[in-house]
Chains A and B, each alone.
Chain A
Amino acid sequence: MIKFFLILFFSSTALAVGNVPDDIKTTTESEVRLRYLHPVKQFTLFSEIQLADQSDGREYKTIFLGSYYRFFDNLRAGLFYQRQYGFRHNEDWFKDSSAVWQWKNTEDRGEDLAILDVSPKFSLGNNWTFEFKTRYEYNFFNSDQSLRLRPNLTYFWLGEDKPIASFFLQAEHVLALNYGSHSTEERWAYLGALYHHSSNLQYGAFAAQKWQAWTSTPAYTATTGKTYSVDANSNVLGVMLILKK
Chain B
Amino acid sequence: MRLYIFFILMSPVIVESATGKINHVRGEVSLTSQGKTTKALPGTVVSSGDNIKTGLKSFAIITMDDGATFKLGIKTDLSIPNDNSINLNSGSLFSKVSKQKPNQQFKVHTPVAVIGVRGTEFFTSYGQSEDKKSDVWMCVNEGSVEVTSTKGKKSVVVNEGEGVVIPVGQDVTPPKKYAWTKKLNWNLDPAKGEVENEVEIKYENLLKEDYD
Contact = CB atoms under 8 A, between A and B. Distances in A.
A76 B211 CA distance: 13
B211 A163 contact: no
Nearest to A117: B212
B164 to A, nearest CB: 11
A166 B203 contact: no
Contacts of B131: 39, 41
B43 to A, nearest CB: 37
Contacts of A68: 210
Contact of B212 (A35, A70, A161): A35
A242 B211 contact: yes
Given A41-B131, A73-B167, A126-B174, A162 B207 contact: no
Contact of B208 (A73, A158, A161): A73
B210 A37 contact: yes
Given A123-B206, A242-B211, A161 B130 contact: no
Contacts of A56: none
Interface in A1-57: 35, 37, 39, 41, 44, 48
Given A41-B130, A41-B131, A163 B179 contact: no
A177 B177 CA distance: 49
A188 B206 CA distance: 24
B205 A73 contact: yes
A50 B34 CA distance: 62
A156 interface: yes
Contact of B206 (A35, A37, A156): A156
Contacts of B176: 126
Contacts of A160: 178-180
A129 interface: yes
Nearest to B203: A161
A156 B209 contact: yes
Contacts, number: 53
A74 interface: yes
Contact of B211 (A126, A161, A194): A194
A82 interface: no
Interface string B33-66: 0000000000000000000000000000000000
A74 to B, nearest CB: 5
Contact of B209 (A70, A122, A161, A166): A166
B87 to A, nearest CB: 24
Nearest to A162: B204
Contacts of B202: 161-162
Nearest to A70: B208
Given A73-B167, A126-B174, A163 B209 contact: yes
B178 A129 contact: no
A121 interface: yes
Of the candidates B173, B202, B209, the one having the most CB atoms from chain A within 10 angstroms of its own CB is B209
Interface in B191-206: 202-206
B209 A129 contact: yes
Interface string A118-139: 0001110011010001000000
Contacts of B173: 126
Interface string B131-150: 10000000000000000000
Nearest to B181: A160
Contacts of B212: 35, 48, 133
Interface in A152-205: 154, 156, 158, 160-163, 166, 194, 202
Given A35-B212, A41-B130, A41-B131, A161 B206 contact: no
A124 to B, nearest CB: 9
B174 A73 contact: no
Interface string B168-190: 00000110101110000000000
List 6 A-B pairs, minimum CB-CB distance, nearest first: A161-B202, A73-B207, A160-B179, A74-B207, A129-B206, A160-B180
25 contacts: A35-B211, A37-B210, A39-B131, A41-B130, A73-B167, A73-B207, A74-B207, A121-B207, A123-B207, A126-B176, A127-B206, A129-B207, A129-B209, A154-B209, A156-B206, A160-B178, A160-B179, A160-B180, A161-B180, A161-B204, A162-B202, A163-B204, A166-B211, A202-B211, A242-B211
Interface of B: 130-131, 167, 173-174, 176, 178-180, 202-212
